[in-house]
Amino acid sequence: MISKQFRKTRGLIVGTVALGGALLLIDCGGKLPTPGGAGNNNSGPGGGLPGLAQVPGASCPADIGNASAIMNAKFGLDAALEGKVKAALSAGANLQAIAADLETQVATACGNLAKDLGATDIEPKDKGPGKRAEAACNAAAKALSEMKAKAKGSLKVEAKAPKCSASVKAMADCAGKCDANVKPGSVKANCEGGEISGKCNADCKGTCTAQAGARCEGTCGGSCSGECSGTISGKCDGKCDGKCDGKDSKGKPCAGVCDGKCAGKANASCTGTCKGECSATCKMEAKGKCSGECSGSCSADFEAPKCSGEVKPPEMSAECKANCDAEVNAKVECEPAQVSVKLEGAADAAAGAKLKAALEKDLPMLVKVTKGMVGRVEKAAGNVKVALEGAEAAAKSGGAAALKVGSCFVTSLKAQADASVQINVSVKASASASAEAGAK
């Protein structure tokens, strides 16, 4: 599904870049062909392309991947076209930020997993979009395969997608800055198809999420130090009913790792309600005041509200919508994914323990991408398409306007093409490593 979207996007990119070449849309300084070519100071040895002169009023930011620089640039166009150009180019810049961050997350998660399993060669042999993520995840998948073969036994991995939320206020603020028809501070963005959350300085009805280290009486996203109402996988300060270090244990004291019910205090992942301290976020039923983040409803306005679904912007131009979608999704926040790992009947106890520990430590970050970020990636691909349509519209407007901004689009489109490849390769790499881990 993702690969089809990216193939379509790359096709649009190639077509539009070709259009730019046919129109001789050249240097971002806005040069026009003139007889003789005297006085050209274009970039490169010897003055660059011959036969060019400066078009007055044209200005293209040096960093076409910087959305803020683009929005502050002066292209010398009429107001309506200027807005379209800035929004389209900014959407492309924000897409590049999403792609770079995504690859970094995948490369880090896979790299950590590979290293924790003993791999040493995780650096890419080739340079290019997504190659860091691809190399790290290939190393992780290979290390996983080798460690599973060494440990043997039955490995069961359960992974729950994390909740990823985008800022509602950021969308409204972006709309006010991007579209001249939207008055800054006068509009509100809405949350559709998801849950709204934020700081509630009043009564919260729903779920209260406390941060790591806080007192927990609910679902713990990490390790629970205290009482667990369900099964555990980890240290049990008491009697274990299940498996102790992989061997049957029917209510006997367990000095090692208990997979089952713990009659006593646990220090492990807990499938039920944790009463104690949680090493990650803890979700509890809201009972009035919530010292953490409230999800559901608040008797007063939420402070810094976030949306786990789609943040719907106010009415604005298609180019600005694409830009703001990309800007907001570039800063999306995700909870840690919940991962449960069980390994029974390991022939090599040391290898089994190493495999289990590495998966519990490193897999949540990878699952965040494979299960939590896919929809955001598809939205980013859609933003590329919208930006391309904006580029085509600007190029087809003809005359000096096209010549002023045409090469800016050509540069941006090449960067967007690389970003789409970077996203696609990173997503595929993370999915491959997750599948090898058993978290499909």
pLDDT score, position 256: 80
CA atoms of 211 and 284, how far apart (whole Å): 11
CA atoms of 311 and 306, how far apart (whole Å): 9
Supply 138's token pair. Answer: 């290939």
Question: Confidence class of residue 388 from pLDDT cuts 50, 70 and 90?
Answer: low
CA atoms of 22 and 99, how far apart (whole Å): 29
Domain residue ranges in the chain: 2-163+351-437, 165-334
Asked if pLDDT for residue 47 goes beyond 50, the answer is no
CA atoms of 270 and 230, how far apart (whole Å): 6
pLDDT score, position 105: 93
Question: Confidence class of residue 421 from pLDDT cuts 50, 70 and 90?
Answer: very high
For residues 269-287, average pLDDT: 88
3-state helix, strand, coil in the chain (%, to 5): 45, 25, 30
For residues 268-294, average pLDDT: 88
For residues 164-191, average pLDDT: 81
| Placement of tokens 């009564």 in the chain | 203
CA atoms 163, 166, 169, 172: torsion sign: negative
pTM for the whole structure: 0.76
Supply 229's token pair. Answer: 């109402």
CA atoms 183, 188, 193, 196: torsion sign: positive
pLDDT score, position 345: 86
Question: Confidence class of residue 42 from pLDDT cuts 50, 70 and 90?
Answer: very low
Question: Confidence class of residue 397 from pLDDT cuts 50, 70 and 90?
Answer: low
For residues 127-149, average pLDDT: 95
Among the ranges given (105-114, 182-191, 215-224), the one the predictor scored with the smallest mean pLDDT: 182-191
pLDDT score, position 406: 75
Helix axes 79-116, 349-367, angle to 10 degrees: 170
Asked if pLDDT for residue 15 goes beyond 50, the answer is no
pLDDT score, position 115: 96
Question: Confidence class of residue 111 from pLDDT cuts 50, 70 and 90?
Answer: very high
Identity of the amino acid at 126:
D
pLDDT score, position 395: 55
The phi and psi torsions of 346 (rounded to 5 degrees) equal: -65, 130
For residues 330-341, average pLDDT: 84
